[in-house]
């Protein structure tokens, strides 16, 4: 039987529990799932491409059929390169729908045989976005439970250099 490969494209700046929830769901219905991080976004990211890639690789290492890659250019061209026949995207609330519909239909216009599959993350993540996580973390709010622990750690290190230093000291047995 033909194997179905899907790509899950996005910025993942940073990866959240909502992304992870969707990756887990996607890994159950597709034979292969490629988490594809967009390389040349117009936005200036908080985490470098390498940092995001490393975090996602660590977070998805227990899924045997999930890999992580980066891409630039059109999503449809990348999908063709990795022989994917589907694009996985998450829809949280109605507000996501219009943008996602536009994107899915544009992608269909560009490559009619590529299907977009929408999945809903668990409801506890329905308000969660990378943008809000960045903002709350930057302003010192509690983001535990919203992002995986390693992401929480990296966010603290990135936003508070003193945290990184004190953490290193603790690890080295100094106070």
- 70 scored as a contact of ligand PNS (CB under 6 A): no
Kindly report each contact of residues 70-75 with a partner whose C-beta sits within 8 Å and lies 24 or more positions away, as own/partner: 70/36, 70/37, 70/38, 70/39, 71/9, 71/36, 71/37, 71/38, 71/39, 72/38, 72/39, 72/40, 73/40, 74/110, 75/7, 75/9, 75/36, 75/107
Task: Compose the 112-151 pattern: x for residues touching ligand PNS by CB under 6 A, - for all others.
Answer: ----------------------------------------
- 103 scored as a contact of ligand PNS (CB under 6 A): yes
Residue from 5, 15, 107, 148 touching ligand PNS (CB under 6 A): that is 107
Instruction: State the catalytic residue, choosing from 2, 43, 64, 83.
Output: 43
- 38 scored as a contact of ligand PNS (CB under 6 A): yes
**Size of site (CB under 6 A) for ligand PNS:** 9
C-alpha 56: how far from chain center = 7
Ordered DSSP codes for 31-48: SEEEEEEESS-SSPPSS-
Q: Tell me the closest approach of the beta carbon of residue 141 to ligand PNS, in angstroms.
A: 22
**Rounded to whole angstroms, how far apart are CA atoms 120 and 117?**
10
- 14 scored as a contact of ligand PNS (CB under 6 A): no
Q: Tell me the closest approach of the beta carbon of residue 54 to ligand PNS, in angstroms.
A: 18
Interface residue list for ligand PNS (CB under 6 A): 9-11, 38, 74-75, 103, 106-107
């Amino acid at each position: 039987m033909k194997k179905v490969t899907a790509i899950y494209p996005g910025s993942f700046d940073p990866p959240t529990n909502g992304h992870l929830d969707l990756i887990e769901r996607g890994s159950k219905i597709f034979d292969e799932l490629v988490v594809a991080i967009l390389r040349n976004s117009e936005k200036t990211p908080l985490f470098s491409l390498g940092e995001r890639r490393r975090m996602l690789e660590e977070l998805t290492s227990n899924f045997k059929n999930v890999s992580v890659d980066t891409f630039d250019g059109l999503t449809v061209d990348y999908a063709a390169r990795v022989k994917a026949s589907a694009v996985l995207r998450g829809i949280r609330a109605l507000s996501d729908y219009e943008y996602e519909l536009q994107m899915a239909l544009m992608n269909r216009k560009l490559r009619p045989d590529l299907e977009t599959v929408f999945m809903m993350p668990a409801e506890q993540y329905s308000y969660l976005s990378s943008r809000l996580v960045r903002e709350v973390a930057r302003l010192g709010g509690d983001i535990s439970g919203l992002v995986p622990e390693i992401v929480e750690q990296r966010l603290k290190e990135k936003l508070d250099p003193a945290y990184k230093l004190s953490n290193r000291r603790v690890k080295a047995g100094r106070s």
